[in-house]
Structure 1
Amino acid sequence: MSSPNEPLDLFLDGGTLTARLVDFPSVSGEEAALADAVETALRALPHLTVDRYGNNVVARTHFGRAERVVLAGHLDTVPIADNLPSHVEGDLLYGCGTSDMKSGVAVQLRLAATLTEANRDVTYVFYDCEEVEAARNGLGHLFAVHPDWLAGDFAVLMEPSGAVVEGGCQGSLRVDVTLTGVRAHAARSWLGDNAIHKAAEVLRRLAEYQPRRVEIDGLEYREGLNATRIDGGVAGNVIPDECRIHVAFRFAPDRSLEQAEAHLREVFAGYQVDVVDASPAALPGLGLPAARAFLEAVGGEPRAKFGWTDVARFSAHGVPAVNYGPGDPNLAHKREEHCSLSAIADVERRLRDWLAR
């Protein structure tokens, strides 16, 4: 794997640069070394001004153009699953973060280094902790402390989208459903009330739940409600007095956070429901002029984004945004995660043409 002391060469071809980034481990919360390398490489480019806050790096051109575009990507990955170092098989580059989203970050860095003149000014944003709870998200920290760094007329999140535009994003709401009982000795279970046994009714409601399919701006969003973890139990000889079921709700962008929470409280009526993490959805907004122009420039048939992305943050701050990156979203977080080398080159070419025209 790459050494943190080895400088990044932003003039490598996109696939090779992606491999360098992938071999530079940066699991959420451990991005400092990669952020250092990105900052150092960008500061060597005279046409950019570079700022840093925490492990978030922002580079901007100052061509004096009427329109400013923001290209944003996160530096972190999910935990490594024995899938480093990277390796190539034919047109495919394998490794943790190849799809989500170091291939997109490589495109950003390549454009930052080589696009020394364009018909649009560009802000390149590299941020940390996207793959974990919303409170740690680096882009959220930047919006809170340095919103002027992120000002723009349009934003592109380099999230994996299969090299087509994905509009909007699902909202994400995670809750704990808590079941309570009475602790007792397992040999005298009739003196207790088993909280784990009460989970059966909550799991039944989840198993029978029928998620919606919603069409917005011609894009179909699919909702999902799932238990992702169950915690309970004290010891092998103790009747448990508490059980918690962690539930993840991915909801369509026609629901607000408040509406999504109200829906879950209705689904789990009669139970204690506590919100653990919440991120709003974003409408696709493909009818907006900036989004229409971008879609026309890069081509392809747009589709809905399944998953939450930071388009929601940009949209909440009045900056129209879409997802567009070379990675395959269906491969994100998988042990066999990989990305097409030709897709990396294609996305870079299309973005370069759009920014320069």
Structure 2
Amino acid sequence: MERSTQTPVLDLSLDAAGLTAQLVDIPSVSQDEKAIADAVENALRPLAHLTVTRDGNAVVARTELGHKERVVLAGHLDTVPIAGNVPSRLDQDGVLWGCGTTDMKSGVAVQLRIAATVPAPNRDLTFVFYDAEEISAEHNGLKRLAERHPKWLEGDFAILLEPTDTQVEGGCQGTLRVLLRTEGERAHSARSWMGANAIHAAAPILARLAAYEPRRAVIDGLEYREGLNAVGIEGGVAGNVVPDSCTVTVNFRYAPDRTQEQALDHLREVFDGCGVAELTVDDHSPGALPGLSHPAAKAFMEAVGGVPLPKFGWTDVARFSALGVPAVNYGPGDALLAHKKDERVATERIIHCEERLRAWLTD
């Protein structure tokens, strides 16, 4: 079936739930976001109160009202691969089903509704719609914008509309993945005493991991729980060979009060004396402090209500934090349903999120 070359049209007069359905019906798997980016750009350009710019498949719209405070609302346009769950489907219980409903086209719909219906907010606003969040960081559209156009992302406070079931989640954990290699000496398994088994040499690493007691850190009243786990192990040459090399892949999820350097130093300390021949960093993204002490964050919490929670996992709030912009996660949808074939979101949660943001920006 050939895809239509006509740009889809978004109806910004719909409520955020109806707009979510329209967005879901535009396939936008990572690195195939042109159609949805075109639709977003075309919907925003006629709005006289916004200045709209674009870089690749990222669209940025700004108000220029001269307020002392600027808030950034950001969300990614891409989804994981479709699993037979497009187009969207609304059931009789008011639940919208489809790829991206939770992660995170419902959040994008809320952004678009605020952009369209709040022409005179009480704070200047920047709306960021970006590409390629669901794949490796090198492709991330927000990363590209931060490198090419950092001024586009300037603000006093940022909200990433990732799924949090309309609860504020502050900051995010850092994530560090390392490869721990052990060495041995090859030999025929029938004469194993002639060699040294590198897989057996990994036993101290696994024992250290099993005995590890993760730290809990309280930051701005939020308790972040760290975790250190083996997530892979690779070794072996053949069924009759004692292996001379083994690699254990370890993932460290750490609280945002650690710097990247401190996180790496901690792992070196943990595995000191375990016979590691080589420790290689495979992937590393810093965490983000919750920033809940910022006046804008306090005002936001008062407006949306609830009790703030820590973000377990990594999100692009870290990119804003690196730019000096305190940021939180807040959006409709249940993060536990993200990426699932039965991904879905309750439409009342989308409407609630839209109403809470509008109230905060118009009081």
The amino acid across from 2:212 in the alignment is Y
Q: SS at the partner of 1:108? A: helix
TM (norm. structure 2) is 0.89
Q: 1:100 aligns with which of 95, 99, 103?
A: 103
Q: Aligned pair 1:50/2:56, yes or no?
A: no
Q: 1:313 aligns with which of 310, 319, 324?
A: 319
Shift of 1:119: 2.1
Preserved CA contact (<8 Å) 1:183 1:194: yes
Q: Aligned pair 1:22/2:28, yes or no?
A: no
How does 1:344-355 map onto structure 2 within 5 Å?
Answer: 344-355=350-361
Preserved CA contact (<8 Å) 1:4 1:24: no
Q: Which residue of 2 aligns with 1:87?
A: 89
Q: Which residue of 2 aligns with 1:260?
A: 263
Q: Distance in 2 between matches of 1:191 and 1:36?
A: 65
Deviates most, 318-327 or 28-37:
28-37
Q: Which residue of 1 aligns with 2:291?
A: 285
The amino acid across from 1:96 in the alignment is C
Shift of 1:337: 2.6
CA distance 1:82–1:174, shift in 2 (3 Å): farther
Q: Aligned pair 1:120/2:126, yes or no?
A: no
Q: Deviations over 1:192-230 (max 9, x none)?
A: 444334344333332332222222221111111222233
Q: Aligned pair 1:294/2:297, yes or no?
A: no
Shift of 1:184: 4.9
Q: Which residue of 2 aligns with 1:137?
A: 140
The amino acid across from 1:273 in the alignment is L
Q: Distance in 2 between matches of 1:85 and 1:200?
A: 49
Q: Distance in 1 between matches of 2:97 and 2:288?
A: 31
Q: Which residue of 2 aligns with 1:75?
A: 77
Q: Cα RMSD (Å) of the superposition? A: 2.4
Q: 2:250 aligns with which of 242, 247, 254?
A: 247
Q: Distance in 2 between matches of 1:51 and 1:260?
A: 37
Q: Deviations over 1:144-175 (max 9, x none)?
A: 11111111121111111110211111111111
Q: Aligned pair 1:168/2:171, yes or no?
A: yes
The amino acid across from 1:155 in the alignment is A
Q: Distance in 1 between matches of 2:35 and 2:208?
A: 45
Preserved CA contact (<8 Å) 1:311 1:321: yes
Q: Distance in 2 between matches of 1:296 and 1:61?
A: 24
Preserved CA contact (<8 Å) 2:184 2:195: yes
Q: SS at the partner of 2:324? A: coil
Preserved CA contact (<8 Å) 1:4 1:34: no
Q: Which residue of 2 aligns with 1:66?
A: 68
Structure 2, unmatched stretches of 5+, are: none
Q: Deviations over 1:87-125 (max 9, x none)?
A: 333232223322221111111112222222222221100
Q: In percent, how many aligned pairs have the same letter?
A: 65
Preserved CA contact (<8 Å) 1:3 1:24: no
Q: SS at the partner of 2:301? A: helix
Q: Distance in 2 between matches of 1:69 and 1:202?
A: 45
Q: SS at the partner of 1:353? A: helix
Q: SS at the partner of 2:71? A: strand
Q: Aligned pair 1:211/2:214, yes or no?
A: yes
Q: Deviations over 1:44-83 (max 9, x none)?
A: 3332221111222111122333322110111222344444
The amino acid across from 2:359 in the alignment is D
Q: Which residue of 2 aligns with 1:274?
A: 280
The number of residues matched between the two structures is 357
Shift of 1:252: 0.8
Q: SS at the partner of 1:350? A: helix
TM (norm. structure 1) is 0.91
The amino acid across from 1:330 in the alignment is L
Shift of 1:347: 0.6
Q: 2:162 aligns with which of 146, 159, 163?
A: 159
Q: SS at the partner of 1:198? A: helix
